[in-house]
């Protein structure tokens, strides 16, 4: 009975388990099918995959946790049932052995039984009192004979009854034993089946979760590409032609054309690492009277020295060429129309950067990943640029990697504030050498894929935000900071150019509500630090500049971004 009860309880649990698995399968299998369907554009399909993987993993974990919670209990019950079955099997084995012995004994007693039955029949006839009375025996012998015959008859009857009962019992026990054997085999098969099913289903769920975890880790790494695309993973240079500003992205355009109540996030600087020389800053310094040595000293802390720079350099895609009169003539990093002292500073910075490649025998690339080289410019260099290279021939800065970028946003590493008085404050942008140099990117709201105004805008014609859109970014930040990995995984752009299945605004607001989310932004304050944005407070929700930047770059509409690399230096304006 114990085994039956245990098996019955186990059956109930297994039924529940099967119900769980059926529901689990209905929910997950369609996701799994769609999950790994090849996409024509992996980046656009990335967020959809992450969302579906996280959903599948969440469902799997949720479905498996109850099973895991019952696993030890079920194992104990299965173990107890198995122990009982083993005991039952041992008992049956002992009974079988006992029955075999009894059967052998009964075979020997069968002849005795037949003799006893025959004798009993005869004696039962001879013990008739009338026959004894009519015999010729004397009375004493008569009573003794009657007593003897009755005793023997009773003994025969007892033996016959005993043997007969034992035979009947043996047959009954054998029949019961066969039934017990069949029942034992059935119970053992059921226990083995349930134990195997339980272990197998949990293993499959665990394997599935492990597979999802691996894929989520892989896709989460790819998710960083979204941030990379919006966080300045390339450094904008000016090139040979100075780019005009974008009216809609300027503070002037925002104040004149944006709807009342709108917000815009303005970055200090372009796609920049903020290291070394600002090209617009060099132009501003040159226009303020500084020569190239002063400019280089300001940005790199050293003046150039003379080196033997004769010979060739290996240039990717073009092979070996003369270092000074071919390679440097083709550097396309600053418009040739700029101030001669700025051009000289650029020539020395470019020469120093490439000199390491020349000395090490390495091939230098021709893109912004190294520094831009133009074969056509090399073949026919503008006079102003040619003069800048020739007049500084052999001059390099020792022990410095001469990084440079178009616009640092008023703050450079390691010099600090890149302003006329070397200090910051609320008016630092007005005092910055970037502004004196005429940078169109000193204070700009970015909403294009690259720094070129004609690059993709993902259907967004301006970088302005409504109160609900800014609130959505605040909610995104709260979920990224406080939410689970599954919740955070859907914090991605709603724009169609990014693909996937991101939260709608309502969905994100619902998730963020438990973390203090807001439905509409109406007020904002920003606290700036030493070249960084320290804190943003929007309708009472305070966020670090870094947290806001991350949320903005993962959630803002279209291709809006804070494009700086490795830091967050921005402001939020309200109209």
> Does 61 score more than 90 pLDDT?
no
Percent of the chain with pLDDT over 70: 66
Cα–chain center distance at 356: 40
pTM: 0.65
Hey, what long-range contacts does 14-22 have (CB within 8 A, 24 or more apart)? Answer: 14/194, 14/197, 14/198, 17/67, 17/70, 17/197, 17/198, 17/201, 20/63, 20/66, 20/67, 21/63, 21/201
Q: Is the pLDDT of residue 387 over 90?
A: yes
Helix (H, G, I), strand (E, B) or coil at 281: helix
Q: Which of 570, 492, 493 is nearest to 536 (CA)?
A: 570
Q: Which residues contact 450 (CB under 8 A, 6 or more apart)?
A: 234, 236, 271
> Residue 351 to residues 323, 453, 531: CA-CA distances in angstroms?
9, 30, 29
pLDDT tens column, 102-124 = 666 666 666 666 666 666 566 55
Taking the domains of the chain in order of start, what are their residue ranges?
Answer: 2-230, 247-257+262-268+444-574, 277-402
For residues 252 and 65, which has the higher predicted lDDT (pLDDT)? Answer: 252
CA 278, chain centre distance (Å): 38
Pairing of strands 411-412, 416-417: antiparallel
Select from 331, 447, 307, 428 the least CA-distant residue to 388: 331
Is the preceding peptide bond at 268 cis, omega within 30 degrees of 0?
A: no
Whether the predicted pLDDT of 136 surpasses 60: no
CA distances from 193 to 6, 10, 80 (A): 15, 11, 16
pLDDT at 447: 95
Lowest mean pLDDT among 15-24, 297-306, 378-387, 448-457: 15-24
Largest Cα–Cα distance of the chain, in whole Å? 168
Helices and strands per DSSP (H, E), number in the chain: 16, 15
548: nearest Cα among 564, 559, 558, 537: 537
Whole-number Å distance between alpha carbons of 229 and 222? 11
What six digits make up the tokens of 401? 């990697």
Q: What are the backbone dihedrals phi and psi of residue 342, each rounded to the nearest 5 degrees, phi first?
A: -70, -40
Report the chain's mean pLDDT, rounded to a whole number.
Answer: 80
pLDDT of residue 63: 65
Instruction: Tell me: pLDDT of 558 over 80.
Output: yes
Greater confidence (388 vs 214) lies with: 388
Among 46-50, 153-157, 365-369, name the most confident range: 365-369
Query: What integer pLDDT is reported at residue 123 of this predicted model?
Result: 56
- Contact between 62 and 23 under an 8 Å Cβ cutoff? The reply is no
pLDDT at 15: 39
Report residue 158's pLDDT band, with 50, 70 and 90 as the boundaries. Answer: confident
pLDDT value for 90:
74
Average pLDDT for 454-464 = 92
Q: What integer pLDDT is reported at residue 117 of this predicted model? A: 63
Q: Sorting pLDDT into bands at 50, 70 and 90, what band is 282?
A: very high
Q: What is the SS3 assignment for 461?
A: coil
Highest mean pLDDT among 93-102, 134-143, 412-421: 412-421
Q: Pick the residue with more confidence: 259 or 227?
A: 259
Tell me the per-residue pLDDT of 373-383, one tens digit each, with 9 for 90 and over: 999 999 999 99
Segment 192-231, tens digit of pLDDT: 776 677 677 777 777 776 776 666 565 565 556 677 777 7
- CA nearest 283: which of 267, 304, 298, 302? 298
Per-residue pLDDT at 36: 33
Q: Which two tokens stand for residue 181?
A: 């054997």
Question: 30-34, 408-412, 416-420, 549-553: which range is least confident on average?
Answer: 30-34
Helix axes 545-555 and 139-230, enclosed angle (nearest 10): 90
- The token pair at 568 is 């967050």
Give first-to-last CA distance, the chain, whole Å.
81
Average pLDDT over every residue of 254-261: 96
What is the pLDDT, as a whole number, of residue 542?
Answer: 97
**DSSP symbol at 247:** G
Tell me how far the alpha carbon of residue 321 is from its chain's centroid. Answer: 48
Tokens of 575: 């109209």
96's tokens: 């079988």
- The band of 307, judged by pLDDT with boundaries at 50, 70 and 90, is very high
Judged by average pLDDT, the poorest of 102-106, 410-414, 423-427, 546-550 is 102-106
CA–CA gap between residue 354 and residue 367 (Å, rounded) = 13
Q: What is the dihedral of CA 77, 83, 88, 90, to 10 degrees?
A: 170
What tokens does 460 get? 């967004």
* Confidence check: pLDDT of 247 > 50: yes
pLDDT of residue 148: 61
Structure confidence at residue 48 (pLDDT): 63
Residue in this structure with the two tokens 């990717």, named with its chain if needed: 316
pLDDT band at 506 (very low <50, low <70, confident <90, very high): very high
Segment 159-181 mean pLDDT: 69
Rounded to 10 deg, the angle between the 42-126 and 2-35 helix axes is 160
Q: φ, ψ for residue 523 (rounded to 5)?
A: -140, 150
Residue 172 has a pLDDT of: 75
- Asked if pLDDT for residue 37 goes beyond 50, the answer is no
pLDDT score recorded for residue 5: 44
3 state SS of 451:
coil
Report which of 503, 298, 483 is spatially closest to residue 402, judged by C-alpha positions: 298
- pLDDT surpasses 70 at 248: yes
For residues 12 and 349, which has the higher predicted lDDT (pLDDT)? 349
pLDDT digits (tens, 9 = 90+) for 329-372: 999 999 999 999 999 999 999 999 999 999 999 999 999 889 99
Domain spanning 2-230: CATH 3.30.70: no
Alpha helices in 231-339 (DSSP H): 251-257, 279-287, 292-300
At 33, is the pLDDT very low, low, confident or very high (cuts 50, 70, 90)? very low
Report the percentage of the chain scoring pLDDT > 90.
51
Q: What is the distance between the alpha carbons of residues 352 and 396, in angstroms, rounded to a whole number?
A: 5
pLDDT at 423: 94
Nearest one of 362, 502, 537 to 54, comparing CA atoms = 502
Mean pLDDT of 69-91: 67
The pLDDT of residue 327 is above 60: yes
* Cα(233)–Cα(245) distance, integer angstroms: 21
Higher pLDDT, 6 or 267: 267
- Burial code (b: 16+ CB inside 10 Å, e: under 16) for 390-421 equals eebeebbbeebebbbbbbbbbbbbebebbbbe
Rounded CA-CA distance 370/237 in Å is 11
Which is more confident, 320 or 184?
A: 320
Query: Lowest-pLDDT range, 170-174, 236-240, 251-255, 376-380?
Result: 170-174
The predicted pLDDT at position 216 comes to 59
Mean pLDDT calculated for residue range 39-66: 60
Strand spans (E) along 471-567 = 524-528, 533-538, 541-544
């Amino acid at each position: 009975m114990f085994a039956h009860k245990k098996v019955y309880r186990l059956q109930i649990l297994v039924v529940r388990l099967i119900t769980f698995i059926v529901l689990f399968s209905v929910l997950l299998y369609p996701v799994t099918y769609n999950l790994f369907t090849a996409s024509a554009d992996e980046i656009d399909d990335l967020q959809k995959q992450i969302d579906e993987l996280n959903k599948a993993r969440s469902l799997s974990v949720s479905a498996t946790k109850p099973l895991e919670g019952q696993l030890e209990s079920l194992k104990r019950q299965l173990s107890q049932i198995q122990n009982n079955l083993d005991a039952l099997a041992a008992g049956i084995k002992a009974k079988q052995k006992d029955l075999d012995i009894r059967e052998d004994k009964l075979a020997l007693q069968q002849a005795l039984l037949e003799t006893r039955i025959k004798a009993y029949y005869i004696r039962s006839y001879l013990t008739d009192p009338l026959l004894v009375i009519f015999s010729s025996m004397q009375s004493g012998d008569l009573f003794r004979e009657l007593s003897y015959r009755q005793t023997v008859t009773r003994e025969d009857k007892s033996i016959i009854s005993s043997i007969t009962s034992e035979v009947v019992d043996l047959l009954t026990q054998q029949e019961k034993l066969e039934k017990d054997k069949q029942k034992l085999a059935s119970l053992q098969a059921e226990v083995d089946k349930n134990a195997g099913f339980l272990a197998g289903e949990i293993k499959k769920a665990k394997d599935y979760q492990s597979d999802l975890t691996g894929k989520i880790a892989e896709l989460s790494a790819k998710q960083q590409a979204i941030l990379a695309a919006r966080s300045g993973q390339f450094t904008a240079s000016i090139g040979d032609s100075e780019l005009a500003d974008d009216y809609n992205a300027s503070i002037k355009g925002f104040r004149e054309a944006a709807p009342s109540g709108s917000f815009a996030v303005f970055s200090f600087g372009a796609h920049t690492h903020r290291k070394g020389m600002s090209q617009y800053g060099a132009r501003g310094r040159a226009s303020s009277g500084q020569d190239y040595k002063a400019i280089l000293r300001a940005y790199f802390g050293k003046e150039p020295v003379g080196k033997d720079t004769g010979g060739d350099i290996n240039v990717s895609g073009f092979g070996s060429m003369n270092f000074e009169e071919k390679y440097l003539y083709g550097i396309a990093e600053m418009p040739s129309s700029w101030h001669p002292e700025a051009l000289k500073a650029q020539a020395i910075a470019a020469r120093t950067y490439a000199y390491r490649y020349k000395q090490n025998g390495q091939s230098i690339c021709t893109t912004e990943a190294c520094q831009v080289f133009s074969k056509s410019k090399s073949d026919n260099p503008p006079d102003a640029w040619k003069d800048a290279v020739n007049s500084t021939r052999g001059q390099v800065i020792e022990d410095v990697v001469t990084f440079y970028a178009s616009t640092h946003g008023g703050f450079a590493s390691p010099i600090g504030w890149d302003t006329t008085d070397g200090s910051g404050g609320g008016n630092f942008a007005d005092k910055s050498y970037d502004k004196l140099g005429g940078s169109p990117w000193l204070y700009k709201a970015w909403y294009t894929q690259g720094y070129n105004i004609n690059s993709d805008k993902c259907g967004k014609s301006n970088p302005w935000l409504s109160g609900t859109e800014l609130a959505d970014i605040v909610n995104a930040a709260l979920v990224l900071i406080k939410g689970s990995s599954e919740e955070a995984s859907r914090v991605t752009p709603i724009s169609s150019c990014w693909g996937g299945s991101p939260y709608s605004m309502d969905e994100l607001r619902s998730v963020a509500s438990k973390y203090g989310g807001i439905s509409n932004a109406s007020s904002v304050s920003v606290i700036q630090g030493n070249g960084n944005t320290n804190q943003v407070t929007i309708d009472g929700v305070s966020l670090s500049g870094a947290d806001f930047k991350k949320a903005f770059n993962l959630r803002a509409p279209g291709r809006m971004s804070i494009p700086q690399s490795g830091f967050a230096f921005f402001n939020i304006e309200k109209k």
